[in-house]
């Protein structure tokens, strides 16, 4: 029997789910409940789920088609699973260290990201989530009116281009298989205020990693407005801090949250597996 508990965070994000074994075939009624809860609370947290690659893939496909995961090599034989890995002696910065929404630079950014923990260090390594719908709703009506028709140019160029961060980083011992490319300089334009395809709620669809600027706005004005919005979005009242355990699976909705990975586990190995699920074109 499906059971769940709301997280105590003031952000309104996150449900802890119990009473379901993700290795097994899941009843369609339970799946429907899980989707409804995921859409409502943006993040579902399943503890004590020891999954094989195939079991992880099978559960993920209950929520849609696989997303496209460029610039990071997948696990051999499993083209839709990537490793989020850092070795104990690795000097490179930890992956995902800046606020972002997964692959927002794509024409159809992923609706869901699923992350399954394998090896969790005894300290550090939390993941932070910011509620982009609630932060939009708290804006003044005047600012909402100013934002409503603005478009944002998204690109993977800053981290993944052939002259981007990962191509030029000084530490060369990174264990993740990142593949920089000229293709990362391609751009897509999305609404700054996105309407969630299922809830119809509006939220801020911007992030400091992939959002290059506001279309048809002078660069200094664009930067000033985006910097203000980023500061607003990461206020404590919008944040859920997730603490990991081994064999934990979480899935989140990229249409209503952005996230950031914390470090603080130097000298310890950390390994998680990730799958993305394709979404719709933002509108």
86-119 pLDDT, tens digit per residue, is 999 999 999 999 999 999 999 999 999 999 999 9
**Structural domain of residue 211, as residue ranges?**
3-277
What are the start-end ranges of the E strands in 120-201?
127-131, 151-155, 187-191, 193-195
- The residue with tokens 């899935």 is 251
- The residue with tokens 């996105």 is 194
Angle (nearest 5°) at CA 82 between 250 and 247: 35
Whether 283 is in a domain gets the answer no
pLDDT in tens, 121-173: 999 999 999 999 999 999 999 999 999 999 999 999 999 999 999 999 988 89
Arithmetic mean of pLDDT over the chain: 97
Q: State the total domains in the chain.
A: 1
Rounded to 10 degrees, the C-alpha dihedral 221/222/228/231 comes to -150
Per-residue pLDDT at 8:
86
Mean pLDDT score, 178-183: 97
> What CATH number should be reported for the domain holding residue 237?
3.60.130.10
SS3 89: coil
Whether 248 is in a domain gets the answer yes
Whether 60 is in a domain gets the answer yes
Q: Which residue has the higher pLDDT, 7 or 215?
A: 215
Given a cut of 90, whether residue 241 has pLDDT beyond it is: yes
Whether 196 is in a domain gets the answer yes
Per-residue pLDDT at 172:
84
Per-residue pLDDT at 61:
98
Per-residue pLDDT at 185:
98
Both structure tokens of 36: 């409804």
pLDDT in tens, 12-54: 999 999 999 999 999 999 999 999 999 999 999 999 999 999 9
List phi, psi (to 5°) of 184: -65, -10
SS3 154: strand
Rounded to 10 degrees, the C-alpha dihedral 280/54/56/107 comes to -20
| Residue 176 to residue 173: CA distance in whole angstroms | 9
pLDDT in tens, 188-237: 999 999 999 999 999 999 999 999 999 999 999 999 999 999 999 999 99
Helix boundaries (H) for 22-168 = 28-41, 53-60, 132-137, 141-147, 157-160, 165-168
Per-residue pLDDT at 224:
98
Whether 282 is in a domain gets the answer no
Per-residue pLDDT at 79:
97
């Amino acid at each position: 029997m499906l059971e769940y508990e709301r997280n105590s965070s003031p952000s309104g994000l996150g449900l802890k789910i119990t009473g379901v074994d993700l290795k097994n075939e899941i009843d369609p009624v339970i799946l429907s409940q899980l989707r409804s809860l995921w859409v409502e609370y943006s993040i579902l947290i399943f503890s004590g789920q020891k999954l094989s690659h195939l079991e992880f893939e099978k559960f993920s496909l209950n929520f849609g088609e696989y997303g496209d995961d460029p610039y990071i090599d997948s696990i051999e034989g499993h083209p839709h699973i990537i490793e989020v890995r850092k070795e104990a002696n690795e000097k490179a910065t930890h992956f995902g260290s800046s606020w972002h929404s997964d692959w927002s630079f794509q024409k159809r950014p992923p609706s869901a990201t699923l992350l399954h923990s394998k090896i969790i260090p005894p300290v550090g390594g939390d993941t932070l989530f910011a509620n982009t719908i609630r932060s939009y709703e708290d804006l003044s009506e005047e600012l909402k009116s100013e934002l409503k028709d603005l478009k944002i140019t998204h690109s993977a160029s800053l981290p993944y281009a052939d002259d981007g961060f990962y191509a030029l980083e000084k530490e060369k011992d990174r264990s993740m298989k990142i593949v920089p490319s000229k293709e990362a300089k391609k751009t897509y334009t999305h609404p700054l205020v996105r309407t969630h395809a299922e809830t119809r709620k509006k939220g801020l669809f911007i992030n400091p990693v992939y959002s290059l600027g506001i279309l048809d706005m002078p660069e200094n004005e664009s930067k000033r407005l985006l910097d203000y919005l980023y500061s607003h979005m990461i206020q404590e009242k919008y944040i859920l801090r997730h603490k990991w355990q081994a064999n934990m699976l979480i899935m989140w909705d990229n249409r209503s949250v952005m996230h950031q990975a914390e470090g603080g586990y130097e000298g310890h190995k950390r390994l998680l597996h990730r799958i993305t699920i394709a979404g719709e074109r933002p509108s």
